[in-house]
């Protein structure tokens, strides 16, 4: 049985403790890893956890389950895929976070893997894939880690919620059936929804802003009937370098439902003056994005409430 090992590394200009924290908390992954759409904990016991990851690969949405073990003292995170796709028979690895001063970290990524039936061609294919993916992934990860650690003012998270006298299923259906949004939502002018794998959607739409302008966005959505839809925008407006979020529908003790729209945004500072004018800065951009996204989200929630309450 041939087990191959590979190592890739990059220098990150951020404190080692912060780099480790950002990698350890999987809710950060859609921000740190460009292909990642959504990550959820399936099991957690001490420093051991089982997670499910949804990500894009070659334009398609994929998901897999991994087990991780966290070593906070050594600043290490080991991982192992539960089920690997051929030609991979087994895949595991380790993130090693090494301090190089107060504000510099050497981040090493180790892989260990073997091919199905020890096939030499399969092993060569995995070699190329691991090398290519690591070399493509690490620069984006470095940028995400540095931005998250050093420019927190560029990040904002917020949510809007309403109470609904209706069912969570009807609210979920309204958001899930985004291919009907041009009929149901006045601020959506065009939409294209594909769902090749049940529960994994790619949504492309044109949205009208308050000022009358139209913005084209594309998102990958992960759907959890009938309580949550998480998403990550893959085509973004100029003012954002990241936009993730979710729709959540929680049935309360009195039988009503709390419907929530949540957003996490990282601003693109290079485009602030282009979009908002020469005098605009980060505070103005934060306010603009909060208003624009919040307005559309509240409008969608209001129409979803009307839909759900009409079906009671």
In the numeric block, which tokens belong to residue 166?
A: 């209706």
Domains parsed from the chain with CATH numbers: 4-150 (3.30.530.20), 154-310 (3.30.530.20)
Residue 48, strand partner residues: 45, 69
Write the burial class of residue 279 (CB in 10 Å: 0-12 exposed, 13-18 middle, 19+ buried).
exposed
Count of Cβ atoms closer than 10 Å to residue 223 Cβ = 19
Cα–Cα distance between 64 and 243 in angstroms, integer?
22
- What pTM was computed for the model? 0.87
- Structure confidence by residue, pLDDT tens digits, 172-189: 999 999 999 999 999 999
Average pLDDT score over residue span 161-172:
97
Backbone angles phi, psi at 77, to 5 degrees: -135, 115
Pairing of strands 48-57, 188-197: unpaired
pLDDT at 131: 92
What does DSSP assign to residue 152?
G
- Structure confidence by residue, pLDDT tens digits, 220-269: 999 999 999 999 999 999 999 999 999 999 999 999 999 999 999 999 99
Element counts in the chain: helices (H) and strands (E):
7, 14
Confidence of residue 213 (pLDDT cuts 50, 70, 90): confident
- Structure confidence by residue, pLDDT tens digits, 71-90: 999 999 999 999 888 899 99
* Higher local confidence (pLDDT), 197 or 14: 14
Cα–Cα distance between 235 and 58 in angstroms, integer?
15
CA distances for 283 relative to 1, 212, 215, 243, angstroms = 58, 23, 22, 18
3-class secondary structure, 277 = coil
Pairing of strands 48-57, 60-71: antiparallel
Cα–Cα distance between 135 and 95 in angstroms, integer?
15
pLDDT at 59 exceeding the cut of 70? no
Average pLDDT score over residue span 16-42:
93
Ramachandran sector of residue 118 (left: φ over 0; alpha: ψ -120 to 50; beta: rest): left
* Higher local confidence (pLDDT), 286 or 34: 286
Confidence of residue 1 (pLDDT cuts 50, 70, 90): confident
Cα 92 off chain centre by: 22
pLDDT at 250: 97
Contact 58, 38 (CB under 8 A): no
pLDDT at 209: 74
Which of these, 68, 67, 36, 32, lies nearest to 53 by C-alpha position?
36
What does DSSP assign to residue 248?
E
pLDDT at 34: 83
In the numeric block, which tokens belong to residue 171?
A: 């609210």
Average pLDDT score over residue span 274-293:
96
pLDDT at 57: 67
pLDDT at 158 exceeding the cut of 90? yes
pLDDT at 153 exceeding the cut of 70? yes
């Amino acid at each position: 049985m041939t087990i191959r090992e590979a190592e890739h590394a990059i220098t990150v200009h951020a404190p080692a403790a912060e780099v480790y924290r950002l990698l350890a908390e999987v809710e950060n992954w859609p921000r740190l890893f460009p292909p990642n759409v959504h990550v959820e904990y399936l099991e957690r016991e001490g420093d051991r956890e089982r997670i499910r990851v949804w990500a894009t690969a070659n334009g398609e949405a994929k998901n897999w389950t991994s087990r991780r073990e966290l070593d906070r003292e050594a600043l290490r995170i080991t991982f192992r895929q539960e089920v690997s796709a051929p030609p991979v028979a087994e895949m595991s690895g380790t993130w090693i976070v090494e301090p190089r001063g107060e504000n510099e970290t050497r981040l090493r990524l180790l892989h260990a893997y073997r091919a199905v039936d020890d096939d030499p061609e399969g092993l060569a294919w995995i070699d190329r894939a691991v090398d290519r993916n690591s070399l493509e992934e690490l620069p984006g990860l470095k940028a995400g880690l540095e931005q998250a650690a050093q420019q927190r003012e560029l990040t904002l998270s917020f949510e809007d919620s309403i109470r609904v006298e209706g069912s969570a299923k009807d609210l979920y259906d309204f958001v899930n059936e985004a291919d009907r949004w041009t009929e149901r939502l006045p601020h959506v002018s065009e939409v294209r929804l594909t769902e090749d794998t049940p529960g994994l959607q790619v949504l492309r739409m044109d949205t009208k802003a308050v000022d009358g302008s139209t913005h084209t966005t594309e998102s990958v959505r992960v759907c959890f009937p009938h309580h949550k839809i998480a998403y990550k925008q893959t085509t973004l407006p100029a003012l954002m370098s990241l936009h993730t979020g979710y729709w959540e529908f929680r049935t309360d003790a009195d039988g009503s439902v709390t419907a929530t729209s949540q957003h996490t945004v990282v601003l693109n500072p290079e485009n602030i003056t282009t979009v908002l004018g020469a005098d605009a800065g980060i505070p103005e951009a934060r306010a603009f994005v909060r208003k624009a996204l919040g307005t559309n989200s509240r409008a969608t929630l209001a129409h979803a409430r009307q839909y759900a309450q009409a079906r009671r």
